[in-house]
Amino acid sequence: MASIRYTAVVATVWAFWVWGSSAGEAPAPPVQPPAPAVQALLNDFKDLGAPDPERRKAAQEKVKQAKLDALPVLLAMLHPKQGTDEFTRIGVLRALVEFAPLTEQGAQTLAWAAAMDTHLEVRREACAAIRQLQEDRATREVIKYGFSQDPAVRRTAAAALRELDDSRVLASLIRAVPIPSITANMGEPVQQTVPALVLPVGPGGTRLPIFLPQQPVTGIASDIGGPVVDLLKQIAGKDLGSLPYGWNNWLHEKNGDIGAADRNAYRENRPLRERMNAP
C-alpha cells in the first residue's frame, strides 16, 4: 500500500515539474496543480522555515512520518515556480539530508540549488548538504554549470565549487589545464641573403664577406588559457596564469602541503633547465 501511495505522489509531482536537462536551463513551469494529498504535504512542510523552533521541529517530524512520500514533495518545493521563501528552502535542504542516499533527481536538484538559486544562503546550504551527503553526482552537475554559456551561471557555479572546497575537483581541473605550445616558422621560408660577417677565410688569409640566409622568426601560440583556466580563476579569485605549475602550487598551499618558505627554497634549488621553463 505504501509503495502504491509513493508511486502516486511521484507521478503527481513529476507531472507538474521537470528539471531542465542542460546546464543553466531554467526548470519547466508547472503544467497542472498538485493533487490534494500532495498539497496537504506542501502545507505541512512550509513550516520547515518557520521562525518558531517548535513549528520547525513539528514540520521535521511530519517529514519523517511521511517517509518516501515526502521526498518528491521536498524536491518540488525547491522549484523557483513554487515561490517558496528563502528560509523554507533552507529548511527543505536540511531535511533532504535525512533521505540519503538521494535519487538521481535529488542529486540534480541539490546541484541546481547550489549553483542557480537566487539567494546566497540557500546556495551555501545546498553546498553544505552536498558535502554532508558526500554526493559526488551533485558535484559533477555543479562542474557542468561551471562551463555554461551564461557568464552569470559560470560565476555562481564557481562560487559553489569554492564553497564545496573539494580537493579532488580542483586537482582534476588543474590536470585538465593545457600546456601552452608555440610553433615557429610555419610559413614559407623567406630567402634573404645579407652580409653577416667578414672573416679571414680567403686565399692567404684575405678577408671575405660571408653571406648567410636570413628569415624572420614567426610563431603561433596555442593552448593558452581556455574554459578550465577561466573556471579556476573564478574559483580561486586570482589569476595565476595558464601554466599548470602555478595552479599546482596554489592547491598545495591551500591544502597546507607547502608554505611560502618551502616554495621559495624549492624555487632556488631546482635545476637550471626547470627554472628556465617554469615561473
Q: What is the CATH number of domain 2-165?
A: 1.25.10
How does residue 19 score in pLDDT terms, banded at 50, 70 and 90? very low
Single-letter amino acid code for the residue at 49? G
The angle that helices 70-77 and 86-96 make with each other, rounded to 10 degrees, is 140
Give the pLDDT score at 168.
92
Give the pLDDT score at 233.
93
**pLDDT top residue among 99 and 190:** 99
Residue 164: CB atoms within 10 A of its CB come to: 20
Cβ atoms of 64 and 81 within 8 Å: the answer is: no
Q: How far is 223 from 178, CA to CA, in rounded Å?
A: 6
Best mean pLDDT range from 4-8, 30-34, 142-146: 142-146
Return all residues near 125 (Cβ < 8 A) that are at least 6 apart.
89, 90, 93, 94, 113
pLDDT at 13 over 50: no
Q: What is the mean pLDDT of residues 188-202?
A: 60
Reply yes or no: is the peptide bond before residue 101 cis, omega within 30 of 0: yes
Q: What is the mean pLDDT of residues 105-126?
A: 93
Best mean pLDDT range from 27-31, 36-40, 72-76, 269-273: 72-76
Residue located via cell numbers 517530524: 61
Q: How far is 78 from 112, CA to CA, in rounded Å?
A: 9
Q: What is the mean pLDDT of residues 217-224?
A: 71
In order, the DSSP letters of 231-269 are HHHHHHTS---S-HHHHHHHHHHHTTS--HHHHHHHHHH
pLDDT, averaged across the chain: 77
Q: pTM of this prediction?
A: 0.67
Q: Where along the chain do its domains lie?
A: 2-165, 166-181+241-279
Give the pLDDT score at 11.
39
Percent of the chain with pLDDT over 90: 31
